[in-house]
Amino acid sequence: MTLQLNEDVSAMYDLARRFAGKEIAPFINDWDEAATFPRELYGKAAQAGLLGMGYPESLGGIPATQALRNAVSIALARYGGSGGIMASLFSHNIGLPPVLHHGSPALVQQVIPPVLRGEKIAALAVTEPGGGSDVAGLKTSARLEGNEWVINGEKVFITSGMRADWITVAARTGNGGARGANGVSMIVVPGDAVGLSRSELRKMGWWCSDTAHLRFDEVRVPAGNLLGEEGSGFRIIMTNFNGERVAMSAMALGFAQACFDEALDWSRQRKTFGAALVERQVIRHKLVDMQMRISSTDAWLNAITARMDAGDEGAEWVAQVCMLKNHATQTMQFCADQAVQILGGMGYMRGTRSERIYREVKVMMIGGGAEEIMKELAARQMGI
């Protein structure tokens, strides 16, 4: 099916809300404590039409505007209340776009349809132990021997890295690996490749999302697994980042709304000195401050998304995306902090959405480009 704008935004939001309420919210506390979630959730999300949004029908996807995709992200974040679930369940949305746009027809057919059906898991591997946002300085190497790429190096903080079946890897190619951005290429590596080893990383938040340290020791993959032309990887990665930052902004908005919802509900129920918390001016003002930031983030996200869906993704738009990502995650941070404060001791207890989201704030402010990087990139795009 092909989704259109207007009423379909509300329909997809409601679909995602119901999915989160049935398939995520009742189990998330247990999944967080277990530091994992059932692989079957991928299949359920695929059946609901959530995994294939934005991908061609010919590959099993559902063509959709960014506005529709945002609606799903916001609803799942707001009513599921778990960044860990969203990070892993939708890791294909950063792992697959380079394959979709730059892979050979055979590679696209091999990789994408099973992932969109929830049968396989895809991940992106760019960050290395020695550097995060400095993509041009990555050290993982790939040399061409006959009809195979031979990969050596390490990747770290890789979402879905422990169980990914397909990993889109950034590596330095060419004789000795050309320096800088021009020497970076993107190569798709199967999860069962000989020489690939993985170790699990433990985190402050996103407990149920597997995060891995990957090591490539003479890993061999077919030459056809190269995406685009050799040396075009830096441009592919930078383009991929823009979509990721818009998605993270939508998620941050949903998490901020989740904190507001919980704080408002608690303030209406909790009584102190004979009156509900919400009757206290200081509490009402905290809730207004939260909503003020939520509303501004919502408006900014809508404006950015409208331009994106209209095909306007120039330098000034990129600058806006960088600033929006910072604003949205700061909104999430503020609302999580205020919600925990309003909930008091209960806000410090595991099991509340605000406590979980409070733990997850920092990864949202760092992932996809740290605040400082976003400011610098925005300044450059604006010619400052």
Which active-site residues does the annotation give? 244
* φ, ψ of residue 3 in degrees (nearest 5): -90, 140
N residues, the chain: 384
- Determine how β-strand 271-272 pairs with β-strand 211-222: unpaired
The contacts found for 351-359 with CB under 8 angstroms, 24 or more apart, are: 351/29, 352/262, 353/81, 353/258, 353/259, 353/262, 354/258, 354/259, 354/262, 354/263, 356/28, 356/32, 356/81, 356/82, 356/205, 357/81, 357/83, 357/255, 357/258, 357/259, 357/332, 359/204, 359/205
Looking at the chain, list the stretches that DSSP marks H as alpha helix, in order from N- to C-terminal side: 7-19, 28-34, 40-47, 66-80, 83-89, 92-95, 97-102, 105-116, 233-269, 281-309, 315-343, 353-366, 371-381
